Amino acid sequence: MSDNSAHPGQPPRARSWPRLALVLAAAGSLVVGTMIAFTPNASAGTTLGASAAEKGRYFGTAVAANKLSDSTYVGILNREFNSVTAENEMKWDATEPSQNQFNYANADRIVNSARANGQQVRGHALAWHSQQPGWAQNMSGTALRNAMLNHVTQVATYYRGKISAWDVVNEAFADGGGGGRRDSNLQRTGNDWIEAAFRAARTADPGAKLCYNDYNTDGQNAKSNAVYAMVQDFKARGVPIDCVGFQSHFNAQSPVPNDYQANLQRFANLGVDVQITELDIEGSGTTQANNFGRVVQACLAITRCTGITVWGIRDTDSWRASGTPLLFDGSGNKKAAYTSTLNALNSGGNPITTPPTPPTTTPPPPTTTPPPGGAGCSASVSLNSWTGGFVATIRVTAGSSGTNGWTVTTTLPAGATVTNTWNATASGNSGNVQFRNVSYNGRLTAGQTTEFGFQGTGSATGMTPSCTAS
């Protein structure tokens, strides 16, 4: 961040990360005690951006407009990176400080500098619960929804053709074991707000990749499973989403997870690009260098991992500067982490000392239960299951009379629990559970279909839903 105190996706008071150097992790982690040996190929790039470009990828950094007068900063920026992301200058409070009065001056400085130097630009971020202007913080309901959609439309339209990818929605899922949505003023406008933002962004800037971006989703956990379920649902229903961003902020208390590559791969298997969007790794020396190398190597191993962005240039530019988490020291000198990163890029996917955990978590192809009969409506379920959890997608089909509303009832097997629901309202979370339509998908004409979904723990094999029309 520009003030070196706040997380790029969190206000200063919302999340505090320990500022400790990385240490060797416990047995089973990805950290090893000696430098990983990479063998650069014959056409090895001499800078991060050039090497990444040889692999068809980008290597970028977050940029603060107020540092563009710093010659050391700009020298490294233009030499090493082929992609930039504005740290704060494209966020809601910066671009629309007063309602319907837009200010792009600082964002334009970054965009114009990048384009003059042949660098692509990632847009960050159109809709987010944090760093909202005061006028938006005081809104709710339909007024806030309309203001958010207007903001997405205006900013994406202004930069149409200049942005390679937009972080359309940032950090919409909660931390903790539940895997649910974050409670925010935007979430309280309706569970479909993320979908609405993506649809507005596609209309405004059809050429840009549209991404969902979040933190603490780097390995498989309840939060990443919830994001996975949303992306899977979006892809199934044709909601425009092209990529998922993984912030990848690591330290000794939150190290590179063993299943990092496998987790990225399972998202790529959904048919979206994956991008490492805000990478920084606290520490120094060999340990830090090894971890940067491993992250790069994981990306190179995945065809749809299209690029990496580090969140800042020099350690002193970082939002957690005391943890020295970047590739250049405060004077602009290359660190061991820089060398490891460049060597990893140049290795072109060569094996590393400790292979990542095999991707065992990719869900199997869905199994479909035929819909039962019924004059009013019918329901069918498709399951994607993994050990300990599942995502159920239920399709509701209106009968010959159509529906003004519908209720789907299903009995979950013993031990199964609903943890997250979208496009419906659930009553109960285990045993006999009812799902009712929400405001926008209850009225169906004869033969028309709609879908809703839910994520759960346990197993849902054998679940048979029934539908009642109203």
List C-alpha distances in Å: 141 to 95, 134, 145, 184, 280. Answer: 22, 16, 6, 11, 36
Count other C-beta atoms under 10 Å from residue 367's C-beta.
11
How many residues in the chain?
Answer: 470
> Is 278 labeled as catalytic in the residue annotation?
yes
List C-alpha distances in Å: 218 to 248, 250, 325, 435. Answer: 6, 10, 17, 31
Pick the catalytic residue: 80, 89, 278, 282?
A: 278
Distance CA 414, CA 57 (A): 47
Measure the N-to-C terminal CA separation of the chain; round to a whole number of Å.
52
| 3-state secondary structure at position 457 | strand
> Is 451 labeled as catalytic in the residue annotation?
no
Distance CA 315, CA 323 (A): 8
Structure tokens at 26: 């416990």
Report the largest interatomic distance among the alpha carbons of the chain, rounded to a whole angstrom. 73
Pick the catalytic residue: 171, 195, 282, 451?
A: 171
Structure tokens at 141: 């309901």
- Number of C-alpha atoms within 13 angstroms, CB side, residue 149? 17
Structure tokens at 398: 């209106």
Ordered strands of the 449-457 beta sheet: 367-369, 377-386, 389-398, 449-457, 417-422
Residue type at 228 in one-letter notation: Y
- How many degrees, rounded to 5, is the angle at CA 405 between CA 402 and CA 410? 105
Kindly list the catalytic residues. 171, 278
